[in-house]
Amino acid sequence: MRSLYGKFIAMTAVIMIASALIAFLAVNTYYHQQLKGQNDEKNMSIAKSIASFIESDKELDLINYFETQSAVGYKLYVVNEQQEVTMYGEAFREENLSSKVIDRVLNGDVYHGMRDLPSETFVTGFFSNELANTVGVPFKFNGETYALFLRPDIKMLFTEVHYILGGMVLIMAVFSLLAMLIVAKMLIDPITELTAATKEVGEEKFARTLDINRRDEIGQLAKSFQLMTKKLSENDRIRKEFISDVSHDFQSPLLNIKGYAELLLDDKLTEDSRKNYATVIQSETERLSSLTKQLLLLTSLDQLSSPLEKRTFELDKQLKEIVRKYRWLLEEKEMTLEMDIEEVRFTGDPAFLEKVWENLLTNALKYTEIGGTIEVVLTEQSDQVKVIVKDNGIGIDEEELKRIFDRFYRADDSRTQETGGTGLGLSIVQQVVKLHGGTIDVVSQKGQGTTFTVVFPKL
């Protein structure tokens, strides 16, 4: 049986059979070790009572009395001194009582056949319908000695109550099996649905909704599967958008380069126009180069769970060096830079963190008008390191603020084209910060400026 449902049914059947076998062996062992002796004593007491009654009543109709005893549920095997046998009740399956035993009883001994019957593994002694499995006592009647061997008639002992109990056990077993089949189906159906949904996900079909409303482990599995499907669907959408955006971002500068290169082939072109066209080609080439470098950086960040080469370095000096690198642009735009930088030693990847500060600072420089102000703050607390880059530039709309970390997203595409942006810088910033175990938050208002806050936990 290859299906889980078939295996469940087979295992249920095996467990029920094994349980019945173990229960039978346990009861059988208990009977032989505990109940057999008690059963022997009980029947010996009954046999002695019968013998005593016979000896006390000289007027007793012996044959009628024995027939009465057999009618109420006993098998009687009576032997006289001449070894003549009289049976009362149902016949024994096997008359395996030796003559020596009969002679001993006729001579006044008692016979404990039930107690001394050899233990049997698969046939409980209580049900063994053989003459050796009896108790024997002697008695005298009308001057003659007899040997009486007695055991209960099992068939007669099974009354209506026993049949009712047996039927109840049988019905319980059948009902339990049917109930297990129903439970098995209830357990297997959600798994079957999950299997079908998994195959659809493998075919990149993410729209299926599972109709599994349970609070057990299968319900948790279904919930996790739905979350996984949702994330896979979102990743698939992002991947397709990413491919589309990459194609678009490569196509636009390539078309510009191609167009201006064709214009440069015109022999009638003036020197000034030629220089302008060459400048555009150079600008678009640099833009492509920047885009390629950032895509390679994102690829390395995506493919490795920890691409960082961490070491302890002076974070304050790194920030100051980044500011110094762009001082010419600050002077060119007549901007004011305010720095409040504490001395901080930090453990991280200096190369990747340098990209974070470059992106944040260049964004502030690009989108802050001439004469504006930029503020860079570095503080160290007992459990964290915080870096703030704040400007009073053009700011970002509330709706645009939600997507600024999306790849290729540009709040103002025409403005970004002028500044040479690729829409990947803040995605790189966010991913590097996450790889360092930190967080990045942004607060902005249109026309009032933007504040980026990066927080790293101290290791």
Q: How many domains does the chain have?
A: 3
Please give the Cα distance from 428 to 357 (Å, whole number). Answer: 11
Q: Which of 303, 320, 337 is the last residue of a domain?
A: 303
Is residue 119 domain-shared with residue 97, that is, in the same domain? yes
Residue 416, domain member (yes or no): yes
Q: CATH number, domain at 384?
A: 3.30.565.10
Is residue 422 domain-shared with residue 295, that is, in the same domain? no
Per-residue confidence (pLDDT) for residue 158, from 0 to 100: 64
Q: CATH number, domain at 179?
A: 1.10.287
Residue 97, domain member (yes or no): yes
pLDDT in tens, 304-334: 555 578 899 999 999 999 898 888 888 888 8
The answer, yes or no, to whether residue 277 has pLDDT greater than 80, is yes
For tokens 């970390």, name the residue.
405
Is residue 416 domain-shared with residue 281, that is, in the same domain? no
Q: CATH number, domain at 21?
A: 3.30.450
Residues of the chain with pLDDT > 90: what percent?
A: 28
Per-residue confidence (pLDDT) for residue 283, from 0 to 100: 80
Is residue 124 domain-shared with residue 91, that is, in the same domain? yes
Residue 402, domain member (yes or no): yes
Please give the Cα distance from 202 to 222 (Å, whole number). Answer: 16
pLDDT in tens, 372-384: 999 999 999 988 9
What band does 445 get if pLDDT is binned at 50, 70 and 90?
A: confident
Q: Which amino acid is at 87?
A: M
The end-to-end CA distance of the chain, in Å, is 55
**Neighbouring residues of 16: CB distance < 8 A, sequence distance ≥ 6:** 173, 176, 177
Question: pTM of the full predicted structure?
Answer: 0.45
Is residue 154 domain-shared with residue 9, that is, in the same domain? yes
The tally of CA atoms less than 13 A away on the side-chain side of residue 225 is 26
Residue 169, domain member (yes or no): no
Antiparallel, parallel or unpaired: β 336-341 and 135-141: unpaired
Is residue 10 domain-shared with residue 154, that is, in the same domain? yes
Q: Which of 19, 26, 35, 20 is nearest to 125 (CA)?
A: 35
Owning domain of residue 241: 175-303
Lowest mean pLDDT of 20-24, 125-129, 220-224, 432-436, name the range.
125-129
What band does 217 get if pLDDT is binned at 50, 70 and 90?
A: confident
Is residue 343 domain-shared with residue 292, that is, in the same domain? no
Is residue 123 domain-shared with residue 142, that is, in the same domain? yes
Q: Which amino acid is at 130?
A: E
Q: Which of 158, 193, 224 is the last residue of a domain?
A: 158
pLDDT in tens, 349-366: 898 898 899 889 988 998
What band does 414 get if pLDDT is binned at 50, 70 and 90?
A: very low
The answer, yes or no, to whether residue 415 has pLDDT greater than 50, is no
Is residue 341 domain-shared with residue 247, that is, in the same domain? no
Is residue 298 domain-shared with residue 312, that is, in the same domain? no
What band does 1 get if pLDDT is binned at 50, 70 and 90?
A: very low
Q: Copy the structure tokens of residue 330.
A: 């600050």
**Neighbouring residues of 319: CB distance < 8 A, sequence distance ≥ 6:** 339, 341, 357, 376, 378, 387
* Interaxial angle between packed helices 271-303 and 217-264, expressed in degrees from 0 to 180 and rounded to the nearest 10: 160
**DSSP helix/strand/coil, 204:** coil
Q: Which of 303, 329, 357 is the last residue of a domain?
A: 303
Q: Which of 215, 292, 224, 219 is nearest to 253 (CA)?
A: 292
Residue bearing the bigger pLDDT, 218 or 408: 218
Is residue 182 domain-shared with residue 137, that is, in the same domain? no
Residue 167, domain member (yes or no): no
Residue 165, domain member (yes or no): no
CA angle at residue 183 from 179 to 188, to 5 degrees? 145
Residue 182, domain member (yes or no): yes
Is residue 129 domain-shared with residue 9, that is, in the same domain? yes
**Neighbouring residues of 359: CB distance < 8 A, sequence distance ≥ 6:** 425, 426, 428, 429
**Neighbouring residues of 218: CB distance < 8 A, sequence distance ≥ 6:** 187, 190, 191, 212
Task: Count the residues in the chain.
Answer: 459
Please give the Cα distance from 432 to 352 (Å, whole number). Answer: 7
Residue 380, domain member (yes or no): yes
